[in-house]
Amino acid sequence: MRVLAIETSCDETAIALLEASGGLKNPRFKILENFVSSQIAIHRPFGGVVPMLAKREHQKNLPLLWRKIMDHESGIRQKNKPIIPNAKFLIPDLIAVTVGPGLEPALWTGIEFAKQIHQQLTTNKQRRKESKLVGVNHMEGHLYSFLLPSKLTTNYQLLTTKLFPAVALIVSGGHTTLLLLKNLTTYKKLGETRDDAAGECFDKVARLLGLPYPGGPEIEKIAQAGDPCAIPFPRPMLHQKNYDFSFAGLKTAVLYYLREHPLKDNSSRFKADVAASFEQAVFDVLIAKTMRAVREHKAKSVILCGGVSASKTLRASFKKAVREKKGTRLVVPDFRFSTDNAAMIGAVGYITLMKNGKDLPLLANGTMEI
């Protein structure tokens, strides 16, 4: 099955074309095309994502990426010609588009574009029946990103039978959510953040340290030279017997610390210590709560996903924690599928179709839950 996927929930415009097979028992994905056009440089001067700018950029970038896919797939360069499917372009069996959660103006751009493409590709009723257009949840995209091809771990197809029950931590700029999966498609939410998401907290603390957006990779970089035990930042909700998180107070603790230790200390060593200590505080909470869920629910694996899972430091710490809990394994997506991309949206589209799941309406829903 050929799956075309479109993702515009935040500041990455992404389109992917996949070949999917194997059904729910053995889902396999071959990436034919995977384009991500990042808007980081556009939003950087504002210290975060500006929704209307994101919308404008998506509107500009979607036709360019689509053009690229058509050119690649048809093997013909057709510069400056209108986007009309070439006879050699195989019509996708499925088009999947993110409908939420995210920035609504940005989501609408993707949805309208997907509808337009669907219309163009399926000019008669028969074809429209054969090529389905489905809306999908962005967070499910992160959740299933581990099913995409990876250089890190081989053969997830075999793994899928031995993974469950699994605990999944989706940790991104918009969400910090812990799920318990009975199998690939049956899951329930154990907890989530009550205020800021972990990635959002990274972005805000980076700004306090004078680092550019997005803050996660910048903090990880400078933290390498710092001491994670230098400053005892709080570990919010660490000992509470629930699976919720809270990171707003930690950000405030960093703010107060920086006020008390003003810029006479603004050496790179000082900043590195703040970054490393902050990072450690966030990761301690994420790991402790995830591993408690693993113990309580006798999970066989931890699925770590979402933009913050691009952190090598977090991956290494999770690896250590999982190794100490015998009989469990850590499952992470390839780095290129940790942060926002469309391939993961294609994976959800395929899984939704395979389980005969209910289509989500093609309406942007900024606060959609998983």
333 binds, among ligand KG4, Zn ion, none (CB under 5 to 8 A by kind): none
Closest CA to 364 of 34, 39, 138: 138
Which region, judged by CB under 5 A, interacts with Zn ion, from 24-32, 92-100, 170-178, 292-300?
170-178
291-350 residues near Zn ion, rule: CB under 5 A: 340
Structure tokens at 369: 């839950």
100 contact, one of Zn ion, ligand KG4, none, CB 5-8 Å limit per kind: none
Cα dihedral sign, 216-256-44-223: negative
In whole angstroms, how close is the CB of 221 to ligand KG4 at the nearest point? Answer: 8
By the 10 Å C-beta count (0-12 exposed, 13-18 middle, 19+ buried), 344 is classed as buried
Q: Is 349 in the site for ligand KG4 (CB under 6 A)?
A: no
Which residues 281-320 are close enough to bind ligand KG4 by CB under 6 A?
306-308, 310-311
Residues in the chain: 370
Return phi, psi of residue 292, to 5°: -65, -40
> In angstroms, what is the minimal distance from the CB of 68 to Zn ion?
22
Residue 218: which of Zn ion, ligand KG4, none does it interact with, CB under 5 to 8 A by kind? none
- Please choose, out of 13-21, 76-84, 172-180, 237-245, the segment that lies near ligand KG4 by the rule CB under 6 A: 172-180
Query: What whole-number distance in Å separates Cα of residue 74 and Cα of residue 72?
Result: 6
- Residues 325-344: x where in contact with ligand KG4 by CB under 6 A, - otherwise, as a string: --------------xx----
CA distance 224 to 209: 15
> What does 199 bind: Zn ion, ligand KG4, none (CB cut-off 5 to 8 Å by kind)?
ligand KG4
How far does CA 172 lie from the centroid of its chain? Answer: 6
Pick 214 or 236: Cβ nearer ligand KG4: 214
Query: How many other CB atoms sit within 10 Å of the CB of residue 161?
Result: 11
Among the listed residues 369, 359, 368, the one whose alpha carbon sits nearest the alpha carbon of residue 118: 359
Tell me the C-alpha distance between 279 and 281, whole Å.
Answer: 5
The interaxial angle of helices 198-208 and 248-260, nearest 10 deg, is 10
Site string for ligand KG4, 180-219 (x = CB under 6 A): -------------------xx-xx----------xxxx--
Contact by Cβ (8 Å): 199, 173: yes
The Cα 18–Cα 133 span in angstroms is 15
Strand order in the sheet with 329-331: 187-192, 176-181, 166-171, 301-305, 329-331
**Residue 279: CB minimum distance to ligand KG4, A:** 7
Among 137, 172, 176, 301, binds Zn ion (CB under 5 A): 172
- The residues in 10-49 that bind ligand KG4, with binding defined as CB under 6 A, are 10
In the bound state with ligand KG4, the residue whose beta carbon lies nearer, of 132 and 204, is 204
Q: Which residues bind ligand KG4 (CB under 6 A)?
A: 10, 172-174, 199-200, 202-203, 214-217, 220, 306-308, 310-311, 339-340
